[in-house]
Structure 1
Amino acid sequence: MSSRLTQTVIHQFSQHGALAKNVHNYHNRQSQTDMAVAVSEAISQKQNVILEAGTGVGKTFAYLIPAILSGKQAVISTGSKNLQEQLFLKDLPALLTMLDMHVPIALLKGRNNYLCQLRLEKQMQNAAHFSDYYIDDLLKINQWANLSKDGDIGNLTSVAEHSEVLPSVVSTKETCTGKKCEHYDVCFTRKARVRAMDAKVVVVNHHLFFADRLLKDTGFAELLPDPDVVIFDEAHLVPDICINYFGSHISSREIDTLLNDIIKLHREVIRDSIQIEQLAQRGLQALSNWHNAMYDNQVSDWRKVLANKQLATVSWTLQQALADLAKLMTHHLGRDDQLDLAFEQLHELAEKLQDYFECKDMQAAYSVELGTRFVMLRLSPINVAKQCQQLFDANTRWIFTSATLQVNRSLGHFATELGLTSAKQIILDSPFDYPNQAMFCVPRHLGKVGQSQHTVKQLVDVCIQAINAAQGRTFILFTSHQMLEQVASSLQGRTTYPLLVQGQASKQSLLNKFRQLGNAVLLGTSSFWEGVDVRGKLLSCVIIDKLPFVSPDDALYKARAANAERQGLDPFSHISLPQAVISLKQGVGRLIRDEKDRGVLILCDNRIVNRAYGQAFINSLPPMQRTRDLDKALQFLKHIP
């Protein structure tokens, strides 16, 4: 028997409900009602639910309406800032008006999005030491702070978003003194939390949610309430975010900043212990030597670093330099609050480096990421299921939804990753008419995938034919930057349609330009595979260079693969294949975004038809009509108005 909440929710989605009365041309979608019922039952019966809702189901209203009508306190967590703001600024206010309800709602961001009055006050007191440019920005921020009601830095328009002043005046957990602070009563971060505690629906993002849950465990004041219901939209991102938050990382930039801050503190505050500056300078030199050695050797797996005597030596020299400086600073504790804080950060960094360099955890991957001007050390657990089981406590209803969760018609992979094997699992297919709206083409006579000149030439030839047939209006999605650059270079001068290439401008700028031009071709890698919504005639063709398998050299994959083998499991079928299927579904999802959209998907990788595992991909994709005849796909494109 369905609950009272479920019956009320079903009514709102019926022809006599709030949506029919307020939404122009509203028609009931059974899959949307089914999802709303599943969410309602989960809330009423205290169940956990994993729910894939295909594009067009209308999942946002399907989970918001039960959350609002339940009267419970709900946290809605999203994977992107765009969806977070859409929910808070558009969808929730619209639904509350339709339902004629007055429910308090709140948008909560991470600490560093809010001004800290104490840090601003300290910066103002030290203004005489700063440059004129720095002081100008500081004065503008101080003026804005006196007028702002919420202290949200996102609303600060008088200062550039990359101003060097901002990191020095925003709230951080390290500098927060809590109730001891003289600004506690008017603290913007505290007031944001109070609004969230008083709200029935709180909108956050995944990163803030997991940071907050873990901060509670370390004794810091939490921002989020303990809700009755948590709904993760864009839930396919959650496993990777869990790996990030249950792991740890150290950046060479973080070490460099801290050492320079200590030198500055010595020169401006301590002054009488030249040894502090000398050891900090020695640390900077050790950091430079280590940084250069990492770049010279181009390593990505830390265990390979340990096997290289030169790299191991410069690594331990850096750790020892930090430990020596921290030991010296213990003799000066209590002289200055900023110095005490710097010591705590340095001591923690030295210990983290030692733990990392010793590489003792066999259940973790130790990887090295080489950025443009920094080196990142990352420790990633190979299995977060146990931590997640503790995190997702029994007092809360946990609901996970996305358009891309299932692999081969099963949600088991996602459930196992997060330790949610007892959760109810539901797949609701898209209501779109894919057989008539879309065609999936894997061209015949393709060579082996790779980056040979022949492979690039084949891909470019396919792209040119498709671009011309679609009159531009094409996304070309790549699994590597190298292939993107080769194809972008080859396309120059060979098509009359505008080419927009990732890296030329920000993601949002490129997308805006794509929409404005109306006949453009956009080339992008992973960031354009998801969270991109281009509807209607503007996008008719999506070309994907190859199946998005993770590199076998990836440190986390290698650690997971070794762990799978120890359990007698096949790493390819248990790790590599499911990840690739979900990634491909994200890319394919860019094509059909509306019930009137039409388009062609071209995959230039014949493994999907030549290998046995290809069926897992095909079973997981929408039921588009399929062809190996490129000419047939081109004709389909030419007939899209």
Structure 2
Amino acid sequence: MQRYIVVDLETTGHSPEQGDKIIEIGIVIIENETITNTYNTLMNPNQSIPPFISQLTHIYDDDVKEAPFFSEVVKEIIHFFESGYFIAHNAQFDYEFLNAMLIEEGFSPLNNPVLDTVELARIFFPTATGFKLNELANYLNLTHDMPHRALSDAFVTAEIFMKIIAKLKTLPFETISHLLELEPFLKSDLFAILEKEKQIKAYKDKQKAIDFYKGIAFRKDEQPDTLSFKETLPSFGELIEDIYSSNGLLKQALNRFEMRREQKDMSELVYDIFRQKKHGLIEASTGTGKSLAYLIPAIYEAVQLNERIVISTYTTQLQSQLLVEEIPILQAILPFSFQVALLKGKKHYISLDKFVKELPHSEDDHYGIVITKAMILVWLTETVTGDIDEIHLPSSGYYFFRKISAESEDIQDVHTPWHRYSYYQKAYEKAYNADLIITNHALLCTDIVSEYSYLPRYEKIIIDEAHHLEETAAHHFGLQFDYMQSVFVLNQMGTTDDGRWMTKLAHALPNQSKGKILNQWDAQFMSFRMELDEIFRSIYEHVLKHSSASFNDIGRLQYDINEVRLSEPYWQSIVENMHSIHILAKELCILLKELMMDPFIDSYLLEQIKQSHDFMESIQKKLFAIFLQSNENQVKWIEIDTTGAKNAVYIYAKPSNIADILNKQFFDEKQSVILTSATLTMKQSFRFVQEQLGLTNGQVIKSQIATPFNFEEQVQMLIPNDFPDIRTDPEEFIYSSCEAILSLAEITKGRMLVLFTSYDMLQRSYNLLKEMFAEDYTLIAQGITSGSRSRLKKKFQSFEKAILLGTSSFWEGIDIPGEALSSLVIVRLPFQPPNHPVYKAKAEKLKETRKNAFYHLALPHAVIRFKQGFGRLIRSNTDRGLVFVCDSRIKTSTYGSFFIDSIPNVPIHYDTTHRLIKKAHTWFNQKDSI
């Protein structure tokens, strides 16, 4: 009988060495896969509990003053650990903390085998949305009534562990065998459990849903081929009435559905634009239900005319929403069948062939790569797409995935042995046969740029989140060089005697191929690496001390290459050195090309050599284009990470004007391109986005779909008239902003999003707020609090009194409906930094045509950004909240009306901060108009 002791500790802090103590312990015993016993007690730490811990756990000093000390219950606790596995969520913390307390009391430390449910959950539930306890509980549909209380957390951890064991029992013999090979490099003592299950599996029949490729088990794609046949479709008008009427198909499918005239209007508009073979600009406000509104006519048009229609989104979040939420609804209610396929770039899909070759443990495999391999092994038994976005790898895992992605697969080479096992090939074939293809802006722009077709041929497309198209297109028509990322790949290549890839290649090559080529490689490769390191270290130092360099909104120091005088001695030396690097890279490419031509090279080595050749060739071409080639339409700049390595350098080159390129290579080539977003206009005009994208009035039908929300009842906008001028007294402005944030937070109990336009101001405000209200609120800040944007959002939603500070990407894509977000603070109007190289280049072009750069570029961009920020607050008919704009220019400047006239009508109050706070308190708490 296997016995498991599941433990959770609540403590005063993270370090017993610095005097932190246990305030609560929860223990759950599992025997025979059943919970057989529990234990729970509060403990007196003989010290005050920090306010943050009390807020998190709801354990206060009064709760523990009569509780026993650890010394009084230690023997009772030790009894539970006489035999069995020690299990905890993030087990290292609980195990080491408990042992430190035992040693302090004169007892021997525990010596149980340890299982960490964080690690095990990552491996056995690789598609989970997150691996914190509450995230896993939600994912596995477990009840977690009292988060951050020891027994509740231990009980949920026990249930998660039993789910893990149940999942293990479903895995094929081959998967378990490979996990056993990785087990010595994991934190959990999993060998005996895996070995036992492997022995059981050895005598069982193979699972019917599982297929195999070179010893790797993966799930069969058992979706049946759908026979296409012509169905009799109703007229579009009849279909729309059937769908949107008060008791129509949508109402029957969704009890929560409310008839919205705006949604129906948009569906009819999209259909009309398709029929007229025109392009369309549709601004659809939040709450319109635009996804369903455009999907219905797109699907109808595709099926009726037997042609593909593409839907492109900017975020994977929206792609997932379309596939998981909207498409199933339409498949259920539409009176005809249709096929939908998701297609992304090759780098998103795993290559089974490459994974087989990279799976054996290497001495270079650190913990992150071991976990990544284990996660992928389990995920392959579940996925039918092979799309890596289905799982959440550790950050280092994505570097490993680049080595095993389908990037180098040839879609036209159907004779390769792995072709029928290729996830990318299957995705492309499904897209080829689909009525509707869902893709992303990145692949769309790659398709536009490239001579090769990355998307099956199409004539009509709907681009959602269209305000990102210009930026994405500029990125794909431009270049970027990440020095540290390049170094990572170069380090993987190495020399013939450093144990890296080239060493393995030299050992694997037949004798006939080992001649002068490999002898030349080491000297030339080391020369290339040394010169590359030296020049980028020099560039880093130059940018660091140059007076014209300035920080951008993500905290990097930015330097405009376009403004450099080529006659400067420093820049002349850079150019000369780049010539040398370019020649060395070219020589390395020639060596690799010669190896590729060798008839004795097998197919696996040939593929690896080709990848190295393509990488070296990309470095050569990028550095040549950026440093040695002049292009009047290219804007070039350097960014450095001042907190990172001494040569963490990023170089960018982008076209200053993408409009003509898009017009000729995209809009003129397609019958109908419909662009939609909640933010396409400034002061009810589409002029700015038309100019950015190169759309003329004769090409395009324009429409604004009104919002269904009652903003006049749901929102109050507050603008102070007594803030210091940031231009003359920035410190006082920040102090006043933080005071206002604190005052509003008291009204809304936190639940606040604060948007900044610069990382520097965010950081300074964060430090000041920490001083001003100490532990009263949970302060979460982009770039300071660890985690991705989605992780910070989840953290914000998990605390009762939280304030989230964000810049850049936080102005959009953060959806926090309901009371979780009750106030929005916009610290500054979101004008682009005037020193950004792309902005400066565009402004110069406008001046040449005698146009005002501020009104034709800076202001429209800021207004659209402001609308995106404003849209974070109200996400449903029941939401209500306060918008506090610290920047009084929205009322006092000649251009302020452009911002106000571009958002829905809301009550606006321009007054002293004191009066605004009083009005906010009255409206928010009494729900009366003010």
Q: Give me the TM-score of the superposition, normalised by structure 1.
A: 0.92
Which position in structure 2 is the counterpart of 1:87?
322
Specify the SS of the correspondent of 1:537: helix
Find the aligned partners of 1:313 and 1:175 in 2 and give their Cα distance: 41
Q: Which of 13, 21, 25 does residue 252 from structure 2 map onto?
A: 21
Find the aligned partners of 1:211 and 1:509 in 2 and give their Cα distance: 29
Shift of 1:115: 1.4
Which position in structure 2 is the counterpart of 1:490?
768
Which position in structure 2 is the counterpart of 1:112?
347
Indicate the larger mover: 112-121 or 170-179. Answer: 170-179
Which position in structure 1 is the counterpart of 2:726?
449
Specify the SS of the correspondent of 1:227: coil
Indicate the larger mover: 558-567 or 225-234. Answer: 225-234
Specify the SS of the correspondent of 1:15: coil
Specify the SS of the correspondent of 1:323: helix
Shift of 1:481: 0.9
Would the aligned equivalents of 1:542 and 1:601 in 2 still touch at CA under 8 Å?
yes
User: In the alignment, is residue 162 of structure 1 matched against residue 444 of structure 2?
Assistant: no
Which position in structure 1 is the counterpart of 2:599?
none
Counting only pairs closer than 5 Å after superposition, residues 114-513 of structure 1 correspond to structure 2 as: 114-123=349-358, 131=365, 141=376, 149-155=384-390, 160=394, 162-163=396-397, 164-173=399-408, 178-179=413-414, 181-215=416-450, 217=451, 219=452, 222-260=453-491, 261=493, 263=495, 264-270=500-506, 272=516, 273-298=518-543, 299=549, 300-305=559-564, 307=566, 308-327=568-587, 329-330=589-590, 333-336=593-596, 337=606, 338-358=608-628, 360-371=630-641, 372-373=644-645, 374-389=648-663, 390-421=665-696, 422-450=699-727, 452-495=730-773, 496-503=776-783, 504=785, 505-513=787-795
Specify the SS of the correspondent of 2:652: strand
Find the aligned partners of 1:601 and 1:315 in 2 and give their Cα distance: 51
Specify the SS of the correspondent of 1:213: helix
Shift of 1:74: 2.1
Structure 1: gaps (5+ residues): none
Q: Deviations over 1:317-336 (max 9, x none)?
A: 14412422422652563324
Shift of 1:506: 2.3
Q: Which has the higher contact order (CA 8 A, sep 6+)?
A: 1
Which position in structure 2 is the counterpart of 1:46?
277
- After superposition, the Cα gap between the structure-2 partners of 1:340 and 1:168, relative to the gap in structure 1 and judged at 3 Å, is closer
- After superposition, the Cα gap between the structure-2 partners of 1:178 and 1:524, relative to the gap in structure 1 and judged at 3 Å, is same
Q: Deviations over 1:20-70 (max 9, x none)?
A: 322225332221121111011112222211000111111111111112222
Amino acid at match of 1:474: M
Q: Deviations over 1:416-451 (max 9, x none)?
A: 211222210101121211112111111011222357
Would the aligned equivalents of 2:525 and 2:588 in 1 still touch at CA under 8 Å?
no
Counting only pairs closer than 5 Å after superposition, residues 45-84 of structure 1 correspond to structure 2 as: 45-70=276-301, 71=303, 72-84=307-319
Would the aligned equivalents of 1:12 and 1:19 in 2 still touch at CA under 8 Å?
yes
Indicate the larger mover: 372-381 or 178-187. Answer: 178-187
Would the aligned equivalents of 2:411 and 2:425 in 1 still touch at CA under 8 Å?
no
Find the aligned partners of 1:206 and 1:227 in 2 and give their Cα distance: 15
Amino acid at match of 1:355: A
Find the aligned partners of 1:305 and 1:283 in 2 and give their Cα distance: 26
Amino acid at match of 2:745: I
Shift of 1:174: 7.6
Bigger Rg over Cα = 2
Find the aligned partners of 2:312 and 2:590 in 1 and give their Cα distance: 42
- After superposition, the Cα gap between the structure-2 partners of 1:165 and 1:366, relative to the gap in structure 1 and judged at 3 Å, is closer
Indicate the larger mover: 544-553 or 367-376. Answer: 367-376
Q: Which of 849, 852, 868 does residue 570 from structure 1 map onto?
A: 852
Find the aligned partners of 1:282 and 1:570 in 2 and give their Cα distance: 50
- After superposition, the Cα gap between the structure-2 partners of 1:473 and 1:127, relative to the gap in structure 1 and judged at 3 Å, is closer
Specify the SS of the correspondent of 1:24: coil
Indicate the larger mover: 392-401 or 432-441. Answer: 392-401
Shift of 1:551: 0.9
- After superposition, the Cα gap between the structure-2 partners of 1:96 and 1:416, relative to the gap in structure 1 and judged at 3 Å, is same
- After superposition, the Cα gap between the structure-2 partners of 1:484 and 1:242, relative to the gap in structure 1 and judged at 3 Å, is same
Would the aligned equivalents of 2:314 and 2:468 in 1 still touch at CA under 8 Å?
yes
- After superposition, the Cα gap between the structure-2 partners of 1:312 and 1:175, relative to the gap in structure 1 and judged at 3 Å, is farther
Find the aligned partners of 2:801 and 2:374 in 1 and give their Cα distance: 46
Would the aligned equivalents of 1:266 and 1:277 in 2 still touch at CA under 8 Å?
no
Specify the SS of the correspondent of 1:405: coil
Find the aligned partners of 2:262 and 2:358 in 1 and give their Cα distance: 55
Matched-pair identity in %: 27
Specify the SS of the correspondent of 1:628: strand
Indicate the larger mover: 305-314 or 166-175. Answer: 305-314
Q: Deviations over 1:140-185 (max 9, x none)?
A: 756865775432334568x756325322111114887833532123
Specify the SS of the correspondent of 2:674: strand
Find the aligned partners of 1:146 and 1:429 in 2 and give their Cα distance: 46
Q: Give me the TM-score of the superposition, normalised by structure 2.
A: 0.64
Indicate the larger mover: 240-249 or 98-107. Answer: 98-107
Amino acid at match of 1:467: A
Would the aligned equivalents of 1:48 and 1:398 in 2 still touch at CA under 8 Å?
yes
Find the aligned partners of 2:589 and 2:781 in 1 and give their Cα distance: 49
Would the aligned equivalents of 1:359 and 1:366 in 2 still touch at CA under 8 Å?
no
Would the aligned equivalents of 1:266 and 1:276 in 2 still touch at CA under 8 Å?
no
Q: Deviations over 1:102-142 (max 9, x none)?
A: 32212222211211234335446x87786586688658756
Which position in structure 1 is the counterpart of 2:902?
620
User: In the alignment, is residue 593 of structure 1 matched against residue 593 of structure 2?
Assistant: no
Would the aligned equivalents of 1:276 and 1:325 in 2 still touch at CA under 8 Å?
no
- After superposition, the Cα gap between the structure-2 partners of 1:483 and 1:175, relative to the gap in structure 1 and judged at 3 Å, is farther
- After superposition, the Cα gap between the structure-2 partners of 1:342 and 1:367, relative to the gap in structure 1 and judged at 3 Å, is same
Would the aligned equivalents of 2:253 and 2:329 in 1 still touch at CA under 8 Å?
no
Structure 2: gaps (5+ residues): 1-233, 507-513, 544-548, 550-558, 597-605
Shift of 1:462: 1.3
Specify the SS of the correspondent of 1:578: helix
Shift of 1:456: 1.1
Q: Deviations over 1:337-360 (max 9, x none)?
A: 344543343234223312211352
Q: Deviations over 1:475-515 (max 9, x none)?
A: 11110111111111111143322212223132222211222
Shift of 1:266: 4.2
Find the aligned partners of 1:460 and 1:90 in 2 and give their Cα distance: 40
- After superposition, the Cα gap between the structure-2 partners of 1:623 and 1:141, relative to the gap in structure 1 and judged at 3 Å, is closer
Shift of 1:542: 0.3
- After superposition, the Cα gap between the structure-2 partners of 1:99 and 1:333, relative to the gap in structure 1 and judged at 3 Å, is closer
